[in-house]
Structure 1
């Protein structure tokens, strides 16, 4: 038989109410008690009775996660972290890859695929500000990525302008003079925001933005990065550095550079964005902007919990999570090998 809250309480030596508080992630539980209850939950493989809970609360404890793609590493990593954060709070997550299609994004984030969801977390590519505002009026919603000025919904994101500025400044400080931007895109607000940070860093350094070095590319594949880099290499003057909108584009760009007989970073330095796990293991390893993905997951789930479970109202909350520039071989080269002197 499935374990009950009473079984968990007996094993942990606490009250059933305390177990309920831990399962529902209420804050007023000591760290020691929370640890004991979670250990008991794991030991008994406790699963909440969502049907009974729904009858009591009118909630299903099912939330939707609308993301462009599950086979792209960044979104897969974010989805995994959000599922973990939600499960710790007793929520189930319905993951809906939308392909960046507007109608599919509306269906996923709005709950039209399942009227049972309590709320949604969405990372849209095609939705308009009016779309987001309308969806947020139907159910609690947390938006990931760039904010829509007209959309009154909670929002979690990295400061893309500042991060792109920092990445570009890194290339400038290395002495690079012809820095390209790979990944411009008319439909992607993230690309536009990162391009503005790129332009600002060049302007501050007194460098001209050469429009021949601002190259369009679809953001979701290594092949697109490779093709865009090939177009860059056919420009009047070859770039000596490239800032890419994301890591997949950067890895495709590196492939083209190496296949063309160019060295990375000696001839062309490359910076990406997202710091996916693959960035650490590519050859050369990729310098990348690393958003705090754990914080994105925790804050998005916390904000949704506040609206759904606590019934919180009030103005939308904007959360800007931290980031760092993770410097690796694609901009500074490999560290020299050392060996012990002969004895």
Structure 2
């Protein structure tokens, strides 16, 4: 078996407590005692067990990340950024998916109690985020569109403002008959409801006499490429006069572009397409995808930082819930502005 504190203490002729104090950097140790203990550590090849040290201190060094769907490039990229942000703190990230279902979110959070996790980062698909955070019983950070009165820290994006910026970009490049793909098909879809509100407000505020046309607002049951392709088929059958489409996710936009090309339409010559999420795939699609980039790396870093504060690294465990809103940016590419 590898040497332990007891072996080091016996070799150095000191107590186990003294060895522990040296290993943990306790300053009030006589230099000659510290040197003797260090010599014993070197001779025996003793390596401290960080997991055991964390457990003795009431910490496991494990946090959980729960997202709706790991197959989604957006959430896959988010998970990667969370792991990267957690690594310098020595944290391991346990990742699971909720499938965007309320019952799955409940079951997942209840199941996490069986694990020795220090905290939870949750991207909820439904409006019960606050309830989940209260039930969890460990520090939690919520991700997603800005809400009100959450009982946990929240790294938010302003979905309505970002959607409005997407529509205004399409207006600036001369589009006037702008459709929306991704309209919510159920009450709890907070992110999509906010993006729909931003879409409608931007049209109404443009000063061009534009209003949201029901023909141009297409509900979807999912947020994948196939859903975007099917929604675009629906639009081409019922709203042939459209000249742009704002899709509530990048995957919907990529599906929509595929349908347009299959129908012989030029993108963006005939129909400009705008997405939302800033996934890397959009940079390499043909045409490359214009999108709203919500700064996923920044979201992940802030979530980890807020969780660390709740875990006592800055004695902030009793502070009221905080909401940090991350700035988004427009990334204009070929699907709206064409090739240079």
Question: Shared fold (TM-score greater than 0.5)?
Answer: yes
Distance 1:129 1:143 in 2: 7
Correspondence for 1:188: 189
Distance 2:236 2:51 in 1: 57
Aligned-partner SS, 1:87: helix
Once the two structures are TM-superposed, the CA of residue 127 in structure 1 deviates from its matched residue by: 4.8
Correspondence for 1:293: 296
Once the two structures are TM-superposed, the CA of residue 169 in structure 1 deviates from its matched residue by: 0.2
CA contact (8 A) 2:182 2:223 kept: no
Distance 1:111 1:88 in 2: 27
Correspondence for 1:38: none
Residue correspondences, number: 297
- Per-residue CA shift, 1:77-110, capped at 9, x if unaligned? 0000001111111111110111112222123345
Q: Which runs of 5+ in 1 are unaligned?
A: 5-14, 19-45, 336-343
Correspondence for 2:339: 334
CA contact (8 A) 1:64 1:108 kept: no
Correspondence for 2:15: none
Once the two structures are TM-superposed, the CA of residue 47 in structure 1 deviates from its matched residue by: 9.3
Report matched runs for 1:131-150 at 5 Å. Answer: 131-135=131-135, 138-150=137-149
**1:232 aligned to which of 219, 222, 235:** 235
2:158 is aligned with 1:159: yes
CA contact (8 A) 2:182 2:218 kept: yes
Given the superposition, is the C-alpha separation of residues 107 and 87 from structure 1 closer, same or farther in structure 2, using an over 3 Å criterion? farther
Distance 1:48 1:246 in 2: 44
Distance 2:170 2:162 in 1: 13
Given the superposition, is the C-alpha separation of residues 219 and 93 from structure 1 closer, same or farther in structure 2, using an over 3 Å criterion? same
Distance 1:110 1:198 in 2: 36
Q: CA RMSD in A?
A: 2.4
Once the two structures are TM-superposed, the CA of residue 16 in structure 1 deviates from its matched residue by: 6.5
Correspondence for 2:286: 283
Once the two structures are TM-superposed, the CA of residue 146 in structure 1 deviates from its matched residue by: 2.1
Correspondence for 1:124: 124
Correspondence for 1:43: none
- Per-residue CA shift, 1:269-290, capped at 9, x if unaligned? 0000011010000000000011
CA contact (8 A) 2:287 2:335 kept: yes
Distance 2:319 2:86 in 1: 23
Once the two structures are TM-superposed, the CA of residue 118 in structure 1 deviates from its matched residue by: 1.1
CA contact (8 A) 1:160 1:190 kept: yes
CA contact (8 A) 1:65 1:93 kept: yes
Given the superposition, is the C-alpha separation of residues 290 and 147 from structure 1 closer, same or farther in structure 2, using an over 3 Å criterion? closer
Correspondence for 2:51: 50
Aligned-partner SS, 1:144: strand
Once the two structures are TM-superposed, the CA of residue 219 in structure 1 deviates from its matched residue by: 4.0
Distance 1:130 1:142 in 2: 10
Distance 1:176 1:154 in 2: 39
Give every structure 1 segment of 4 or more consecutive aligned residues whose post-TM-superposition deviation is greater than 4 Å.
Answer: 15-18
CA contact (8 A) 2:130 2:151 kept: no
Correspondence for 2:91: 91
Correspondence for 1:316: 321
Aligned-partner SS, 2:238: coil
Given the superposition, is the C-alpha separation of residues 262 and 217 from structure 1 closer, same or farther in structure 2, using an over 3 Å criterion? same
Given the superposition, is the C-alpha separation of residues 130 and 139 from structure 1 closer, same or farther in structure 2, using an over 3 Å criterion? same
Aligned-partner SS, 2:70: coil
CA contact (8 A) 1:65 1:109 kept: no
Distance 1:163 1:290 in 2: 9
- Per-residue CA shift, 1:208-259, capped at 9, x if unaligned? 1101100011343100000001001111443110000010000000000000
Given the superposition, is the C-alpha separation of residues 182 and 48 from structure 1 closer, same or farther in structure 2, using an over 3 Å criterion? farther
Given the superposition, is the C-alpha separation of residues 47 and 160 from structure 1 closer, same or farther in structure 2, using an over 3 Å criterion? farther
Distance 1:302 1:286 in 2: 31
TM-score, length basis structure 2: 0.82
Larger radius of gyration: 2
Distance 2:264 2:288 in 1: 18
CA contact (8 A) 1:129 1:148 kept: no
Given the superposition, is the C-alpha separation of residues 165 and 117 from structure 1 closer, same or farther in structure 2, using an over 3 Å criterion? same
